[in-house]
Amino acid sequence: MRFPNKIAIYNELTALKIIQGSISIDRLLKAIEYILNKHKILRTFLTFNNDNGILEQHINNKHRIFQLVPNQTFKNENELQDILYQTIINPNLFDLSTGRVFHCEVLRQELISNNNNNNDNDNDNNRFITDSDILLMAFHHAATDRSAYQLFLNDLCFAYNTNVKWTGDEDLLQYIDYSVHERLIDMKPSREFWLLELKDYDFEHRLSLSTDQHCLSNDQRPGLASIAQISFDKNISKSFLNYVSTHQTTSFQLGMALFYIFLFKLTQVQNDLCISCHNANRYKTELQNILRMFISTLPYRMKLNCNWSFNELVKQVQDKCISILEHSHYPLQNILTDIHAIQSNVSFLQTVFDFITRSPDIDQLSLDDVTLKPIELKQSIEIAKFDFALTFIYNPMSNDDMLSCRFVCSHDLFEDMTVTKIARRFEYLIEQLFSVDSNINQTDILVSPINKLSLILPEEVYEMERIVFCRQPDIINEALASYAQARIWLDERIRFDSKNSQVAIYNMPFLHRLSSGGTLSISNLRQALQHVLIKHSALRTSLYFDTNKNILMQKIIDHTDSKELFTFIESAFETDEDLIEIMHNERGNPNNSNLMTDIVCRWHAVYYKNISQKGIICEKDALIFNFHHALFDFPSMKIFREDLDQAYTMGYLKNDDNTTLRYLDYAVAGQQMLMTTANAFWLDAVRDYEINRLLQLPFDRHGVSDEHRINRETSVSFQFDNDLSKAFLTYITYN
């Protein structure tokens, strides 16, 4: 369902290279016949019974005519890897309906030889597998799992080395016996456990990962993988294993805790996390030696608390794993049926964690005196069965790669570079927790809230620290507009059509009244305001659209002459209603500001009944400073007032126009900032949201979203009583 028929995803393959000696093909076939006799699962076929809607298994006897597949040849390593890849994805390699679930063939290396030896080589090829050849064996995943593979190799060695023949053992427990027994187990306690475990979880909600492409959960995947491998150094590996020992946990549980934290941070603190894990499911002793696919896929849900320490999270994961172990035999299909979920739509099945401990025996196989070693498959030939999978590999026999991990992600969602960056972030997370650096207090990190752990890489921190907002030496008075300026400018022209609008939307008038008994000199205030505008070039900046470059620009107005940099007007009022009307005009009159002109700041002196002495502002008079929002915001008002006060009081304002940071410099630096992380965050934040969908509010009239607005408003205001206000503030304080 999830993958096209032209590619196989459950072909499990191993390729063994003969290091020394040669293997008798005749003895190998007899050893395989012994295994096929002993393990009936390797000759079991599946049929769907339409009468009762049940998938049934049957055992056949075709093993008696088993033969090796005709030889393929390869000249070099690249050709060998290509053969292995084609075998892995070959959809015709197996057929569950006929019981063809095991495949074995010999890959011959083409060697340069003289003609006299050709006949001898042909005879040897029919009888022996030599040190230039590869023994390739493959299984369908429906028949075997990781544990079963080791059982197969053990039996192969035993049968080949002893030449034993299968005499039959009717008492030997087969998988088909277990299947019958499994149906008789009382599943009610497990059913109740899983229903409670997954209660209220949103199964269709996908993790907010930074994908490069978007695919629906039920879209078909071609199986292509984006892969990144991490090999931890000896110190990190030892620190990891020491933690397992000292905290009485398991490597699997510790790895899972790390994965939870990583997803928690990677998804911007999404705390209700559910992933899939593979359980060996050989929960009884008598199941340990049965060749079969016992592994079950189960959901592991964890509700993280950002205030937990890492140690606390590990304990929570440990408890979770122990509680699940008792119910790990409950089939996944039953879980999905109980929660009324469709498998193709369940998101947690696509986020997978696994921990593999490599057995020392698997690295070397001996058939008599012949030594065989597994061939490492190139990462590029791995199939992505899931959208996002992390696998730890622990190899106790390796000195260099004792502990490693691998991200295998669907290439439909993640580009190679993205997965590489994800892996690097995970590596950095582990370095923070298990570093042996003497400068890092490991105890503090392990007991600190997990929310304090960071996925921002050191090189990214360095890059951010390098972005210092400083004077741009190559920029004199003209540059690109900032992102904020461009948004406001476009909004004003496109959504509100400023050319034809009768109401302005981005005027920012600030009303000031003098304190009791105070007076101000108009001429001194005009001079002080001129000083402020000279210092803050943003208040003497115009915006214009460069049609040649097709971009919005900003330009600082020169102040070398004595021309005032602001508009000054005077008027009078008699009542508070008159003043309110004046403020309304300041706020809504589109003629009060024009970003295209060289005057973008406005000062309005409003006198009460014209009773003030000429040139003096008294306590009942009002001052209105008006700015356009593209050049000014509310926090700027505090700076404006402080500098205006200093300029008025002292008659001057300190300013080094050659070194002072300007808004124009910030805009240039902002355009140069790396936006990769921010871009990924916002893509995730609005993912799947229908941007053009209007909120279903009870409108009186309907307006299309791209229609011009005239900006007439209807407003209602109300006050909270004291009790409600206190309750509101108390909630903020304690939450």
Distance CA 179, CA 150 (A): 22
Which pLDDT does position 125 carry in this prediction? 65
* pLDDT tens string 564-587: 889 999 999 999 999 999 999 999
Q: Which of 172, 192, 208 is the last residue of a domain?
A: 172
Distance CA 156, CA 139 (A): 14
The model's confidence at residue 186, banded by pLDDT at 50, 70 and 90, is confident
412 with 533, same domain: the answer is no
Q: What percent of the chain has pLDDT over 70?
A: 84
Which pLDDT does position 329 carry in this prediction? 83
Asked whether the predicted pLDDT for residue 499 surpasses 60, the reply is no
Distance CA 127, CA 29 (A): 11
Say what angle helices 310-325 and 251-266 make with each other, to 10 degrees.
120
Q: Are 595 and 534 in contact (CB under 8 A)?
A: no
460 with 499, same domain: the answer is no
Handedness of CA 428, 429, 430, 435 (dihedral sign): positive
Asked whether the predicted pLDDT for residue 305 surpasses 70, the reply is yes
Which pLDDT does position 108 carry in this prediction? 92
Of 11-15, 302-306, 356-360, the poorest mean pLDDT is in 356-360
Q: Are 566 and 601 in contact (CB under 8 A)?
A: yes
Of 200-209, 419-428, 559-568, 678-687, the poorest mean pLDDT is in 678-687
Which pLDDT does position 25 carry in this prediction? 92
Asked whether the predicted pLDDT for residue 371 surpasses 60, the reply is yes
Asked whether the predicted pLDDT for residue 226 surpasses 60, the reply is yes
Distance CA 37, CA 30 (A): 10
Which pLDDT does position 458 carry in this prediction? 86
Report if residue 279 sits inside a domain.
yes
Report if residue 390 sits inside a domain.
yes
* pLDDT tens string 626-639: 999 999 999 999 99
Say what angle helices 251-266 and 416-434 make with each other, to 10 degrees.
120
Asked whether the predicted pLDDT for residue 227 surpasses 90, the reply is yes
448 with 486, same domain: the answer is no
Average pLDDT (316-326) is 94
Average pLDDT (170-199) is 75
What CA dihedral angle connects 541, 543, 546 and 551, to 10 degrees?
110
Which pLDDT does position 682 carry in this prediction? 75
Average pLDDT (200-214) is 80
Q: Count Cβ neighbours within 10 Å for each residue of 305-343 and write b for 16 or more, e otherwise.
A: eeebbbbbbbbbbbebbeebeebbbbebeebbeeeebee
Average pLDDT (244-262) is 95
Say what angle helices 663-672 and 483-490 make with each other, to 10 degrees.
100
Structural domains of the chain, count: 3
Report if residue 368 sits inside a domain.
no
Average pLDDT (131-140) is 90
Which pLDDT does position 380 carry in this prediction? 63
Which pLDDT does position 473 carry in this prediction? 67
129 with 278, same domain: the answer is no
Which pLDDT does position 113 carry in this prediction? 54
Q: Are 34 and 66 in contact (CB under 8 A)?
A: no
Average pLDDT (421-430) is 94
Asked whether the predicted pLDDT for residue 37 surpasses 60, the reply is yes
| H or E stretch covering 586 | helix 576-588
Question: DSSP of 288-322, one letter per residue?
Answer: TT--S---EEEEEEEE--TT-BHHHHHHHHHHHHH
The model's confidence at residue 733, banded by pLDDT at 50, 70 and 90, is confident
625 with 492, same domain: the answer is yes
Of 211-215, 250-254, 304-308, 393-397, the poorest mean pLDDT is in 211-215
Distance CA 650, CA 347 (A): 67
Domain housing 349: 225-361+381-464
449 with 516, same domain: the answer is no
Asked whether the predicted pLDDT for residue 123 surpasses 90, the reply is no
Among 165, 158, 166, which Cα is nearest to 367's? 158
Which pLDDT does position 471 carry in this prediction? 63
Of 33-37, 39-43, 685-689, 693-697, the poorest mean pLDDT is in 685-689
Q: Using H for helix, E for strand and C for coil, what is the string for 605-668?
A: EEEECCCCCCCEECCCCEEEEEEECCCCCCCHHHHHHHHHHHHHHHCCCCCCCCCCCCHHHHHH
Report if residue 4 sits inside a domain.
no
Which pLDDT does position 323 carry in this prediction? 94
Q: Are 627 and 595 in contact (CB under 8 A)?
A: no
39 with 83, same domain: the answer is yes
68 with 164, same domain: the answer is yes
Asked whether the predicted pLDDT for residue 704 surpasses 70, the reply is no
Report if residue 216 sits inside a domain.
no
Asked whether the predicted pLDDT for residue 355 surpasses 80, the reply is yes
The answer for 268, left when phi > 0, alpha when psi is -120 to 50, beta otherwise, is: left
446 with 550, same domain: the answer is no
Tokens of 182: 């499994």
Which pLDDT does position 285 carry in this prediction? 63
460 with 486, same domain: the answer is no
Question: Which backbone phi and psi does 439 adopt, to 5 degrees?
Answer: -80, -10
Report if residue 583 sits inside a domain.
yes
Q: Are 503 and 712 in contact (CB under 8 A)?
A: yes
**Residue bearing the bigger pLDDT, 290 or 41:** 41
Q: Where are the beta strands (DSSP E) in 516-582?
A: 520-521, 541-546, 551-556, 567-573
**Residue bearing the bigger pLDDT, 360 or 359:** 359
Counting Cα atoms < 13 Å in the Cβ hemisphere of 697 gives: 8
Asked whether the predicted pLDDT for residue 112 surpasses 70, the reply is no
Report if residue 85 sits inside a domain.
yes
**Residue bearing the bigger pLDDT, 662 or 361:** 662
Average pLDDT (672-682) is 71
Average pLDDT (382-388) is 86
270 with 335, same domain: the answer is yes
Of 29-43, 96-110, 289-303, the poorest mean pLDDT is in 289-303
Say what angle helices 251-266 and 234-246 make with each other, to 10 degrees.
110
Q: Using H for helix, E for strand and C for coil, what is the string for 440-473?
A: CCHHHHHHCEHHHCCCCCHHHHHHHHHCCCCCCC
CA distances to 149, 199, 280, 299, 358 from 277, rounded to whole Å, are 19, 19, 10, 7, 18
CATH code (residue 491) = 3.30.559.10
352 with 413, same domain: the answer is yes
Asked whether the predicted pLDDT for residue 117 surpasses 60, the reply is no
Which pLDDT does position 594 carry in this prediction? 82
Asked whether the predicted pLDDT for residue 417 surpasses 80, the reply is yes
**Residue bearing the bigger pLDDT, 182 or 606:** 606
The model's confidence at residue 684, banded by pLDDT at 50, 70 and 90, is low
Distance CA 270, CA 210 (A): 13
The model's confidence at residue 605, banded by pLDDT at 50, 70 and 90, is very high
**Mean pLDDT of the residues in the chain:** 84
Which pLDDT does position 366 carry in this prediction? 84
* pLDDT tens string 62-80: 666 678 888 899 999 999 9
CB-based contacts of 570, cutoff 8 Å, min separation 6: 604, 605, 606, 607
DSSP state of 386: S
Report if residue 197 sits inside a domain.
no
Tokens of 303: 């509700």
DSSP state of 376: P
pTM of the predicted structure, to 2 decimals: 0.66
Q: Are 267 and 208 in contact (CB under 8 A)?
A: yes
* pLDDT tens string 512-525: 998 877 899 999 99
The model's confidence at residue 28, banded by pLDDT at 50, 70 and 90, is very high
CA gyration radius, the chain = 37
Which pLDDT does position 708 carry in this prediction? 58
